[in-house]
Structure 1
Amino acid sequence: MYDYVIVGAGSAGCVLAARLSEDPDVKVCLLEAGPADNAENIHVPSAFATLFRTRYDWDYDSHDEPALNGRRVFLPRGRVLGGTSSLNAMIYARGNRLDFDEWETPGWTYDEILPYFKRSEDNERGADEFHGAGGPLTVSNGRSNNPSAQAFVDAAVEAGLPANDDFNGKNQDGFGFFQVTTRDGRRCSTAVAFLHPVLGRPNLTVETNFQAHRVLIENGRAVGVAGQRLDEELTIRADREVILSAGAYNSPQLLMLSGVGPAAQLGMLGIPVVADLPEVGQNLQDHALVPLTFTHSQPVSLLTAMEPQNIRRFVEEGTGPTASNGPEAGGFARTRSGIPAPDVEFFAAPIMFVDSGLAFPTAHAISCGPALLTPESRGSVTLASADPTAKPRIVHNYLLEEADMVTAVEALRMGLHIARQPAMRPYTEELFRAPESESDQDLRAYVRRWTHSIFHASGSCAIGTVVDASLRVHGVDGLRVADASVMPKVGRGQPNAAAIAIGEKAADLIKHI
């Protein structure tokens, strides 16, 4: 028996486990479906894509995407201590002030959530109005500083776009280098930052290789979690609360497996309905990336990351291409006038990042495409089976709304314009995959053929429809959701940073602070 049982040791779950177990009189159990985060490639920033489709990844795919020629899109999710913060590209970009104000939810405005961002943060630039220092999560400047990434920033300025050296400061618009969640050049996941330092607490139990099957709900109250650890079926009881921090795909899946969701769908699968919540799994959002990759002959790409001298630099100094997070630089821009904040984000990675990162790089290259920040299209997570080991059915409906396709085409034009600037000429010898022309028709065809996810799933257990402002699930006592799924809108940044802040705030809500 524990006071709190947390499902999912990811970006929010590790935060919750650390914060709730600060009280020595409270017993906390953290459940993680995957293994410990002791694989070396987890901690080497440039190696993150090698973790895709391995035991550390839930290895999801969307089902047929109607606006992307019926293609299925790869959707990696961390299945390891640290969750997706153990296999993402480590960019620390919180989003725009408007992202939180647009939720229109008391307690979740930008001014109210900013202290939670700052509380987590140990920014190497120091503390100020927008940044924190002394927190568990190390936020650093990149330590690779690849010349092709710098060329992309210079080219954006040549194209008439502003420079910006702090995307988490007063203004978001502009181009520059991202700050990243690394420490001394190595990944600083939430497991590294929050969980590892407190594993010795006697009131904290961490169960790895435990896949939750359902939340136990008795007389309208969550009282524990049933699941399987390796070959052993177990029940973990919670005296106070069960908190789902399993992410935008797995949290709604677990709710539905537990009888909380659309009654009609659950009934068809033979799952007894505990609470009829039609919006569980709906409102799914993501940032769709339109890839642009240029090959070149400059020997500066991340193909050099595994060369002995660069490995030595990484081990001894924590610098060089091995320390690269991939998308080192980028920027936030607006595809049209009259909108209140950026609607696209560019990423510049000194690597051939194609086919969602699953294809092995074969040449020196730079990948520098835009992602749509404010999609109007909405998808869903539904159950494919009542068997808890079955993968959920995920459809994002990328670019299904015409407005999203229009934005994608304009963003693609903007990316091609930046790539033509003088600063980029050494790195844009050949466009790896090119549209037939720059007509609307050909650009749309390119977008439909090559767009993929940038892995920012959010919104499937949104505040207002599935949970209240305190993250309590409607219709079930003692049950909360705290992860990126509660965000009503995906936001103009990387949801990892927001999920960490959600974990921080959730801990205070649970403690009644």
Structure 2
Amino acid sequence: MYDYVIIGGGSAGCVLAARLSEDPDVTVCLIEAGPADDSPNIHVPAGAPKLFRTQLDWDYDSHQEPFCNDRRIYLPRGRVLGGTSSINGMIYTRGNRLDYDSWEQPGWSFDELLPYFVRAEDNERGASEFHGAGGPLSVSENRSRNPMSDAFIAAALEAGHSATDDFNGPSQDGFGYYQVTQRDGMRCSSAVAYLDPARERPNLTIETGMQVHRILTENGRVTGVSGGRAGVEVMIRAEREVILSAGAYNTPQLLMLSGIGPADLLTALGIPVVVDQPLVGQNLQDHPQFWLVYAHSQPVSLLAAGEERYQQQYAQHHSGPLSSNGPEAGGFLRSRPDLSAPDLQFVSLPVMYVDGGLGFPSHHAISFGAYVLQPRSRGSVTLAGDDPTAKPRITHNYYADEADLRIATEGVRAALSIAGQRALSRFTEQPKSVPASESDADIRDFLLRNTQSSYHAAGTCAMGLVTDAELRVLGTDGLRVADTSVMPRLISGNTNAPTIAIAEKAADLIRGLAPLPQTAAVAVSG
């Protein structure tokens, strides 16, 4: 028996475990399906692609995407302490203030959430009106600075775009280097940032290798969880609350397996209905992403990262190619001048991007592209059966709304313009993956054949639909959700930092603490 049971040891779950266990008078149990985060490929930043399709990855694919030539699209998710923050690209962005304001949920405006971003952050630039210092999450400069990343930024400026040195400052627009969640050139996942300092607390128990199968309910109240570890059933009881932080795919799946979801589906699968909630698993959102790939003769890509000189550089200084987060540089732009915020985000990789990130680069190359920041298309997560070990059925419906395809088309045109600039010419010698021409038809054909996930799934247990503004699951007692699934609308940027901020606020909500005071930064942020 514990006071709090947290399902999922990922970006949000580690935050909750650390914050709730700060009170020595409560007991906390964190449950993670995967193992401890002790693989070297987690902590050496450039090792992340080696984790795909391994035991540390839930290894999901979408079902046939009806608006992308019926392709199945790879959807990696971390199955390890730290969750996807242990395998992601480490970009630290928060999105745009208009994203949070559009949620229209009390307590969740940008002004109200900014203090939680600041509390979480330990930015190596120091504290400012927009940034924090001394928090658990290390945010630092990129130590790789590949010459292709320099050239990409220079080419974006040549193409007429503005420069910025802070995507989380007064304005989101512009191109530059991303800050990254690294500490001394090593990955700073939520497990490293939050869980490591709390591991020895006597009131915190960390259970790894246990997959939760169902949330238990008695007389209308959630009382604990049932799961499996090495073929043995395990039950863990919760005196106060169960907090579900399993991510935008697994959280709705687990709710439905527990009888909280659309009654017609649950009944058809023989699952007893606890709460008829048809919106569980709906409203799925992601940023559809494309990549242009150009091979070249310069031996400077991450294909060379394993060379002995670079291994020595990393061992001695934690810098160089092995410290690369992958998407080192990028930017935000507006496809039309009348927009109130950017609707495209660019990323540039100093390596050949092959087969959705699963293939091995055959040449030195640069890959860059963009994703649609505020997609109108919506997908869903449903059950494939009543077996809790079966993978959920995921359909994103990328480009179901024609507006998303139009914006992506403009993104391809902007990317081709950057590719044509002199600053990038020595790295764009041989096109490997580009549209056949700049016509609308050829660009759209390219997009339907090549669009991938940006790994930013959200929205499947949204506030106002499935939970209330305090993240309590509607129709239940003693159950909350705290992860990307509670976002009513996907934010305009990478989702790791917002997930951590959501969990920081959720911890205060659970503890009954007053909201953090707003800062002077809100007067000038935009």
TM-score computed with the length of structure 2 as normaliser: 0.97
1:492 has 2:492 as partner: yes
Instruction: Report the residue type matching 1:257 in the other structure.
Output: L
Q: Deviations over 1:467-498 (max 9, x none)?
A: 00000000000000000000111111111111
One-letter identity of the residue aligned with 2:491: G
Letter in 2 for 1:156: A
Corresponding residue for 2:141?
141
Q: What SS does the corresponding residue of 2:103 show, helix, strand or coil?
A: coil
* Separation in 2, partners of 1:435, 1:501: 38
Shift of 1:48: 0.7
Q: How does 1:111-150 map to 2 (within 5 A)?
A: 111-150=111-150
The residue aligned with 1:370 is: 370
> CA contact under 8 A between 1:280 and 1:460: conserved in structure 2?
yes
Residue of structure 2 in register with 1:315 after alignment? 315
Q: Are 2:384 and 1:384 equivalent residues in the alignment? A: yes
2:85 is aligned with 1:85: yes
- Corresponding residue of 2:328: 328
In the other structure, the counterpart of 1:344 is 344
SS in 2 for 1:132: coil
Using the alignment, how far apart are the partners of 2:468 and 2:345 within structure 1?
30
Deviation at 1:299, TM superposition (A): 1.1
Partner of 1:472: 472
The structural deviation recorded for 1:431 is 1.3
Per-residue deviation, 1:434: 2.4
Amino acid at match of 2:231: D
- SS for the counterpart of 1:13 is helix
Q: What do the CA deviations read for 1:300-322 (whole angstroms, capped 9, x no partner)?
A: 11011111110111111010001
Q: Give secondary structure in 2 for the equivalent of 1:47.
A: helix
The aligned counterpart of 2:522 is none
Q: Letter of the 2:155 partner, please give it.
A: A
Q: Which amino acid counterpart does residue 491 of structure 1 have in structure 2?
A: I
Equivalent residue letter for 2:285: Q
Q: Secondary structure at the match of 1:141?
A: coil
Cα deviation, residue 197, structure 1: 1.1
Shift of 1:337: 2.2
The equivalent residue for 2:54 is: 54
State the partner residue of 2:507.
507
- The equivalences for 1:8-157 within 5 A come to 8-157=8-157
1:272 maps onto 2:272 in alignment? yes
In structure 2, give the amino acid aligned to 1:288.
P
Contact kept, 8 Å, 1:291 with 1:354, in 2: the verdict is no
Residue 131 of structure 2 aligns to a residue whose secondary structure is coil
State the distance in 2 between where 1:375 and 1:61 align. 20
Q: How many residues align?
A: 513
Q: Match for 1:396: what amino acid? A: H
1:214-293 correspondence runs (5 A): 214-293=214-293
Q: Which AA in structure 1 matches 2:298? A: Q
Structure 1 partner of 2:521:
none
Residue 354 (structure 1) shift: 2.2
Report the 3-state secondary structure (helix = DSSP H, G, I; strand = E; otherwise coil) of the residue aligned with 1:510.
helix
Structure 2 residue matching 1:369: 3-state secondary structure: strand
Partner of 1:440: 440
How many angstroms apart in 1 are the aligned matches of 2:374 and 2:118? 25
Describe the SS at the equivalent of 1:294. strand
After TM superposition, give the deviation of residue 232 of structure 1 in Å: 1.4
2:114 alignment partner AA: L
- Show the counterpart of 2:523: none
Runs (4+) of structure 1 moved beyond 6 Å? none
What does residue 210 of structure 1 align with? 210
1:321-375 deviations in whole A, cap 9, x for unaligned? Answer: 0100000000001111211101110001100012211010111111111111110
User: CA offsets per residue over residues 17-65 of structure 1, 9 Å max, x none?
Assistant: 0000000010000000000000100111111111000000000000000
Letter in 1 for 2:154: D
For 1:291 and 1:244, how far apart are their aligned partners in 2?
34
Q: Distance in 2 between matches of 1:352 and 1:317?
A: 26
Letter in 1 for 2:345: E
Instruction: Determine the C-alpha separation between the residues in 1 that align with 2:95 and 2:59.
Output: 26
Between 1:333-342 and 1:472-481, the stretch displaced more is: 333-342
CA distance in 2, matches of 1:313, 1:84: 27
Checking the alignment, whether the CA contact within 8 Å between 1:293 and 1:367 is kept in structure 2 is yes
Q: Distance in 2 between matches of 1:272 and 1:72?
A: 31
Alpha-carbon deviation of 1:429? 0.5
Cα pair 1:122 1:135 within 8 Å, conserved: yes
Aligned residues of 1:137 and 1:181 also touching (Cα < 8 A): yes
Letter in 2 for 1:290: F
The residue aligned with 2:520 is none
Q: Percent identity of the aligned residues?
A: 64
Q: Distance in 2 between matches of 1:436 and 1:184?
A: 43
CA distance, structure 1, for counterparts of residue 43 and residue 412 of structure 2: 33
Q: Distance in 1 between matches of 2:79 and 2:434?
A: 35
Question: C-alpha separation between the residues in 2 aligned to 1:93 and 1:419?
Answer: 24
| CA distance in structure 1 between the aligned counterparts of 2:463 and 2:187, rounded to whole angstroms | 30
- What's the counterpart of residue 200 of structure 1? 200
Counterpart Cα distance in 1 of 2:484 and 2:312 = 37
Q: Residue type matched to 2:261 in 1?
A: G
Deviation at 1:438, TM superposition (A): 1.1
Give the superposed CA RMSD: 0.6
Paired amino acid for 2:512:
H
Q: Which ranges in structure 2 are unaligned for 5 or more consecutive residues? A: 514-526
Distance 1:325 1:295 in 2: 20
Q: CA deviation at 1:120?
A: 0.7
Letter of the structure 2 residue corresponding to residue 478 of structure 1: G
Question: Equivalents in 2 of 1:247, 1:438: separation in Å?
Answer: 38
Task: State how far apart, in whole Å, the 2-side matches of 1:318 and 1:390 are.
Answer: 40
User: What SS is found at the alignment partner of 1:85?
Assistant: helix
Q: Which residue of 2 aligns with 1:165?
A: 165
Letter in 2 for 1:118: V
Q: Which amino acid aligns with 2:149?
A: A
SS in 1 for 2:11: coil
Partner of 1:460: 460
CA deviation after TM superposition for structure 1 residue 294, in Å? 0.8
Amino acid corresponding to residue 486 of structure 1 in structure 2: V
Between the aligned partners of 2:130 and 2:258, the Cα distance in structure 1 is 40
